[in-house]
Every structure is written in C-alpha cells, then in structure tokens.
Amino acid sequence: MKFNLLIVDDSAITRAIIKRTIKMAELTVENIYEAGNGQSGLEVLGQASVDLVLADLNMPEMDGFEMTRRMLADERLKHIPVVVISAEPNAADFARDVGIHGCLSKPFTPEAVRSAVLQALGVEHV
C-alpha cells in the first residue's frame, strides 16, 4: 500500500530524521511533503493529496493541536489521520482529547513509527 505523507515540524533536522525513519520502517510512501508549522501544513493539505499527517505539537505560528482542530473542522481534511510526534510526557493524553489518531514519543524507533502509521491508516500489516 502506497500512501502520501505530510511531516509537520519546525525543525528541518527532525523532519529529515522522520523521513529516514520512515524508510528504515520499510513503509511504502509515494510522496513525502514537509511543512515547518501548522499553518504551512494546512497550506500543503490544501494543495496536495495527503493520506496521513505526522506532526510535532510545539511549533511557532500554529501548533499541532490547532492544526488538528482546523483539520477536523474542514470537511475536506477531517478524514486525514494525524499522528503526533512529541517529547512532551503527557502528549498522548492531550492528543486523544483533540481527536489525534496516535502519538509517538521522542526518541522513536522505526518499529514504533511503522506501528503508529499503519494503525492510523487502518492497516494491520503491509
């Protein structure tokens, strides 16, 4: 199963690490889009076909929570699952409260990324 992915994180280094981890997790991604904050992420979502969003929580201009709230309020975007990647200790609790589909704690392993992505996409294994 090929899918399109959007990585939203204010750190270019973290985005590169996530992309490398996706490859190590042996996930078949057709396109990987990137954005440096939630506002830019929403702009990408308005222009590209995206199946899953991996997003940081704490970012300038618009954080991951606000981006997810806006996605859920938009008929065109509310079906796209969001998995947050955060170093925040209570991120998973907050994530569930706003409708986020999964949470990965930093640091993360390829196995954890694979599991979170497949679960969010509703795929048992690929």
Tell me the per-residue pLDDT of 63-114, one tens digit each, with 9 for 90 and over: 888 999 999 999 999 999 999 888 776 666 666 666 677 788 888 899 999 9
Residue 17 falls within a domain, yes or no? yes
pTM exceeding 0.85: yes
Q: What is the 3-state secondary structure (H, E, C) of 16-65?
A: HHHHHHHHHCCCCEEEEEEECCHHHHHHHHHHCCCCEEEECCCCCCCCHH
- Degrees (nearest 5) of the Cα angle 35, 83, 8? 10
Residue 34 falls within a domain, yes or no? yes
Parent domain of 99: 3-121
Residue 126 falls within a domain, yes or no? no
Residue 20 falls within a domain, yes or no? yes
Tell me the per-residue pLDDT of 15-32, one tens digit each, with 9 for 90 and over: 999 999 999 999 999 999
Residue 15 falls within a domain, yes or no? yes
Q: What is d(CA 123, CA 95) in angstroms, rounded to the nearest whole number?
A: 21
- Our CA dihedral for 18, 21, 25, 27, rounded to 10 degrees, sits at 40
Residue 112 falls within a domain, yes or no? yes
Residue 113 falls within a domain, yes or no? yes
Residue 41 falls within a domain, yes or no? yes
State residue 86's pLDDT score.
80
Categorize the per-residue pLDDT at 50 as very low, low, confident or very high, splitting at 50, 70 and 90.
Answer: very high
The domain total for the chain is 1
Side by side, the strands of the sheet bearing 52-55 are 29-35, 3-8, 52-55, 82-86, 102-105
Contact 7, 33 (CB under 8 A): yes
Residue 97: give its domain's CATH number.
3.40.50.2300
